[in-house]
Structure 1
Amino acid sequence: MSGAFKRIRRKIWFILNVGVVLWLLVGVYCLQVPPYEYWEAGFISFSLPGALVLNFVFFIYWLLRRSWLILLPLSVMVLGWQYHSRFLALNFRKEEPLEAKELEVLSFNVHVFNAYDDRDGSELEASAEMIEWVATHPADVYCLQEFYNNNTKGSTVYNTVSRIGQRYDKFRHFSVAHKDWNKGEIGIAIFSKYPIFNKGVIEFGETKHNRAIFADLNIQGDTVRVYSAHLQSMNIKAQDIENTYSSIGNQDKMKQEGRNLARRLRRGFIARGHQVELLLDHISQSPYPVIVCGDFNDIPFSYTYQVLSKELSNAFEEAGVGVGATYNGPIPFLRIDNQFYSNGLRAYDFRTYPEMGLSDHLPISAKYVLEKRD
């Protein structure tokens, strides 16, 4: 009887393992599908991290059982390592460049420096701390999303163009998406210690909040084009997550909250699908090596990430360590801020900054080597 039970159990585990492999194959295929053509593909690819984790569980199970069936999850891990490395980077060895031009780039969604949380003055000290942290960071270039500047009389903290750019003698490109009720300017900014000799804005259709900007930098005789992008938000707030958790046990409320989340995710998938293609079309026309920074509001298992990674390398994958989560909110392990780069550059160091937890995003920085051209 025990022998028959073991055979049945083994068969069940094998069938489940095959199911996970099929899930992974379908998910990888869905990464290639534009969400505006088939939005369901966005949800399937969004679930890929779960399939990767389950495949690893099966690997451990067959390993402990000393079964030849370990070849099934192992082959998936080997053949699909590029997708595992999107989730977990293992670049422990740093190759310091010798006698080469280097460029360090900081990317940070600064969440309007918490200015909207400071109407009663309670966040003023935290805002000043965040602005000073950015202004004194040793990076050569800052790419800042949800940037906020207010030059009205009496604004001694939020006059950020002056506090970050003019005070530290940096060249700057600030694209204002809109102005608020208090004449504050909100948009995307690039600050650079190297001269900016050309710059521009990439509009994403009707949306005014999301856009990308670029700046061509003269780096001791070489040129690098740097992009700072902010793609369509997921529009999921911490309160939405809490409402979903609190609705567990209430079937009607849970269905309603689930539909609301799914609707917002679907709108985001579709919008970012269009936006990333506009961005990539502009990148493809660059005559210079490029670095593309930003808040992409999409995980590494998405059409957005897939489209960019086909043409560009990712600094976290090439030079990072660990999970590299950048979302500073109630959903753990989300990496939605990235730096991509083209040929002509090589990333050799990548960092996230969990100590700067004043925004809903964590800052990231990468160091690059400008490779010599023939």
Structure 2
Amino acid sequence: MKIMCLNGWGGKLHAPLIAYLEASSPDILCLQEVVHSPETTKEWLTYRDGSHILPQRANMFRDVARALPDHTPIFCPAAQGMLWDGETSIPSQWGLATFVRRTLPITGQVQGFVHKAFSPYGYGEHPRSRSAHVVRVFDFEKARFICVAHMHGLRDLGGKGDTPERIAQANRLAELVQQIAEPGDPVVVCGDFNVDPGSQTFEILGRIGLADLVTARGFGSTRTSHYSKAGKFADYMLVNGHVEVTDFTVVAEPEVSDHCPLVLTV
């Protein structure tokens, strides 16, 4: 089974992203920064937040679902705000998506918030609402269940250090995982955590038996050349002792976002 985690950057690198997902076709894809604009047929819209302006693939969720036709797509919105088509505002939802190969029955799942709650009338002030999604699926090849979770962690304009809000989000993520995972389950927890490698997040998740693969295996960055700021860690993938890791890598090429895909084979 191949599990992939990726912050999709709102589909800014749409063509290489779709080509990569079609070619790699992970069994479970955990995708953050997903755009879903059901009221428009436009291909591209623009995100505006002060001086931060970013092209967004208007129906990224639909596009990825089409690229993975053998998967069950699940969209988990964190907020609905406005994207822009020139001077026309378009309602657009933003959040996480999980894509599970249809041969893997989803026997349990929970969608919840690790910070704030759903924001229906605008993306909100920073730090904005953040959600997580957990699925428990049955793997017929191994004749066992596996639990996979992901979140998009808080973006703090002051950096990636620990804050009370980040400590709270880690505890909340652990609670959501424990709602679904059964004793003895292999558990994988991943996402764009937006924290430094020394964060208390890892101590908190360690209490439920999880350990990070990115830092433990010596990878020096999870960002691509499209990210020019300091602090090259953002994305992590943690496993418990029941996960039999066949392979794990941080994919540097092709570049499909300002984040690297994390790919685990179990």
Interval of TM-score (by shorter of Structure 1 and Structure 2): 0.7 to 0.9
**Counterpart selection for 2:60 from 134, 154, 160:** 160
Matches within 5 A, 1:1-374: 103-114=1-12, 126-156=13-43, 158-166=58-66, 168-181=69-82, 182-193=90-101, 194-206=104-116, 208=118, 209-220=129-140, 221-235=143-157, 261=158, 269-285=163-179, 286-287=181-182, 288-310=185-207, 311-317=209-215, 320=217, 322-328=218-224, 329-331=227-229, 334-368=232-266
- Distance in 2, matches of 1:333 and 1:355, equals 20
- Measured after TM superposition, the shift of residue 265 of structure 1 is 5.4
SS at 1:184's partner residue? strand
Cα separation, partners in 2 of 1:153 and 1:280, compared to 1, 3 Å:
closer
Deviation of the 1:365 alpha carbon: 0.8
Q: Which amino acid aligns with 2:245?
A: A
Q: What TM-score, normalized to structure 2?
A: 0.74
Distance 1:325 1:183, change over 3 A: same
Fraction of identical pairs, as percent: 21
Give the C-alpha shift of residue 213 in structure 1: 0.7
Deviates more, 1:308-317 or 1:175-184: 308-317
Q: Which has the higher strand share?
A: 2
Give the letter aligned to residue 192 of structure 2: D
TM norm structure 1? 0.54
Alpha-carbon deviations, 1:88-122, whole Å to 9, x = none? xxxxxxxxxxxxxxx211100111112xxxxxxxx
Any stretches of 5+ residues in structure 1 without a counterpart?
A: 1-102, 115-125, 236-260, 369-374
Change (3 A) 1:304 1:152: same
| Aligned-pair CA distance for 1:366 | 1.2
Amino acid at match of 1:160: M
Helix, strand or coil for the counterpart of 2:150?
strand
Distance in 2, matches of 1:131 and 1:270, equals: 37
- Tell me the amino acid that sits aligned with residue 112 of structure 1: G
Bigger shift: residues 329-338 or 270-279: 329-338
Deviation per residue, 1:191-213 (Å, 9 max, x gap): 01123232221212425431111
Cα deviation, residue 176, structure 1: 1.1
Could you say if the C-alpha distance between residues 362 and 348 of structure 1 is closer, same or farther in structure 2, counting changes exceeding 3 Å?
Answer: same
Larger Cα Rg: Structure 1 or Structure 2? Answer: 1
Q: What is the CA distance between 1:330 and its match in structure 2? A: 2.7
Task: Measure, in 2, the Cα distance between the counterparts of 1:183 and 1:277.
Answer: 32
Correspondence for 2:86: none
Shift of 1:345: 1.1
Aligned-partner residue type, residue 110 of structure 2:
G
1:190 Cα offset (Å): 0.8
- RMSD between aligned residues: 2.4
Report the secondary structure of 1:350's partner residue.
strand
Deviation at 1:301, TM superposition (A): 0.8
What is the number of equivalent residue pairs in this alignment? 225
Q: State the SS of the aligned residue for 2:132.
A: strand
| Alpha-carbon shift at residue 340 of structure 1 (Å) | 0.8
Instruction: State how far apart, in whole Å, the 1-side matches of 2:214 and 2:198 are.
Output: 14
Using the TM superposition, give the Cα deviation of residue 332 of structure 1 relative to its aligned residue in structure 2, in angstroms: 5.1
Residues 173 and 215 in structure 1, CA contact (< 8 A), matched pair in contact too: no
Distance change in 2, residues 1:212/1:284 (3 Å): same
Can you give the 5+ residue segments of structure 2 that lack an aligned partner in the other structure? 44-56, 83-89, 119-128
Distance 2:245 2:164 in 1: 31
- Judge conservation of contact 1:203–1:212 (CA < 8 Å) in 2: yes
Amino acid across the alignment from 1:303? Q
State the SS of the aligned residue for 1:347: coil
Deviation at 1:334, TM superposition (A): 2.4
SS of residue paired to 1:204 = strand
Give the counterpart letter for 1:365 in structure 2: V
Deviation at 1:171, TM superposition (A): 1.2
Query: In 1, are the aligned partners of 2:16 and 2:254 still within 8 Å (CA)?
Result: no
1:145-194 per-residue CA deviation (whole Å, 9 max, x = no partner) reads 11112334433564333332255220122111122322332111110112
